[in-house]
Amino acid sequence: MNIKITGSGSYIPEIVQDNSKFLNREFFDNEGNKIETKNDEIIEKFQKITGIKERRYAKDEFNTSDIAYLAAKNAIEDAKIDPETIDYIILAHNFGNASNNTTQIDIFPSLSVRVKNLLKIKNPKCVAYDILFGCPGWLEGMIQGYGFIKAGMAKKCLVIGAETLSRVVDINDRDSMIFADGAGATIIEKVEEEGGILSHNTASYTDDEVFYLFYGKSFNPKADQKTKYIKMRGRKVYEFALTYVPAAMKDCLDMANTDISEVKKILIHQANAKMDDAIVKRLYKLFNLDSPKKVMPLTVDRFGNSSVATVPTMYDLIVRNKLGVHKIEKGDKIIFASVGAGMHINAMVYQY
């Protein structure tokens, strides 16, 4: 018996915001000084570093729990299961429901129980809970669901990653151009066929690294300083990721007794194209190899960084043949990996 993904779904918001929409923004540095560099130059440099050309935003009437429900509904339909047979709903997010008409974040009741309600699941034995784990939240939810099933505590788990980061960004911070909205979901369950989750690895670095990503005030000194936004020490995050994520992936491969030559795809959290490419190159360097072309799909260029949603969304697009040349065939081994606020990292080796 193995534990596999039997269904996947995603919600990609309809609103497309390309980089030209930032031309009239007023940007400040972290000291509150207005940045005098022309915005077209700022945007050009930003695109060169991150690879982001556009991002997706949810419509005003949709909260995080709403788009999580839409992705979950797609995953349930794809798995062809009765929702009443789901034992756990694990919903990863970081900012709850952040409506456009308020500065408060709503996580009471939790987003997972709202999704269960929207799915009209009556079974009280279907346990729903949220997980706050930075960008690696969906993958950590997968690991937890795997643990429940392996321990005999569950047969089916619904794992969701959803975020509306567009509502928690400081419009006067250049990093606001990175973040986006989206949702992805997967059903995992015990099956007779070969493959599934082969190994997993998680670590939390909470010493000097703990506030590399944090909630902070606007860079604009004239803005309301009581309102907080997502903030990032970009260089620190970049260096941290390059140091620890490749090693975590290698450890996973070792635990799965899998040679890197067997890996067909690496689905890594879509934070920054340059950073992701460097991570994959460092992984292969650990094996004294060059990274092969097309082993790492990218979606950050058109969808931006939707935190917990990037990896499950990418997986869903690939298995539905909606990501160009990127395909996953029966028996292929892939790596999932993520890094984010906490600072947390995790990885998983999976056989499709």
Domain boundaries of the chain, sorted by first residue = 2-192, 198-351
Please give the torsion angle defined by the CA atoms of residues 119, 120, 126 and 128, in that order, rounded to the nearest 10 degrees.
Answer: 50
Catalytic site residue from 19, 63, 135, 326: 135
| CA-wise closest residue to 232 among 169, 143, 183, 154 | 169
Known catalytic residue at 344: no
Query: Residue 269 has what pLDDT?
Result: 97
Query: Residue 339 has what pLDDT?
Result: 97
- The tens digit of pLDDT for each residue in 268-310 reads 999 999 999 999 999 999 999 999 999 999 999 999 999 999 9
Q: What pTM does this model have?
A: 0.96
Catalytic site residue from 269, 272, 344, 346: 269
| CA-wise closest residue to 311 among 10, 5, 3 | 10
Tell me the H-state helices in 217-306. 234-255, 273-285, 300-303
Topology adopted by domain 2-192 = Peroxisomal Thiolase; Chain A, domain 1 (3.40.47)
Helices and strands (H and E) in the chain: how many: 8, 13
Both tokens of 15, joined, read: 């609103």
Known catalytic residue at 257: no
Out of 3.40.47.10, 3.40.190.10, 3.40.50.300, 3.90.1170.50, which CATH number does the structure's domain 198-351 have? Answer: 3.40.47.10
Mean pLDDT by 10 residues, the chain (352 residues): 95 96 94 93 94 96 97 98 98 92 84 98 98 97 98 97 96 95 98 94 96 94 90 94 96 96 97 95 96 94 97 98 94 97 97 96
- Same topology between domain 2-192 and domain 198-351: yes
Q: Helices 273-285 and 39-50, interaxial angle, to 10°?
A: 30
Residues in the chain: 352
Known catalytic residue at 305: yes
Q: Helices 234-255 and 273-285, interaxial angle, to 10°?
A: 40
Query: Residue 171 has what pLDDT?
Result: 94
Catalytic site residue from 93, 305, 326, 344: 305
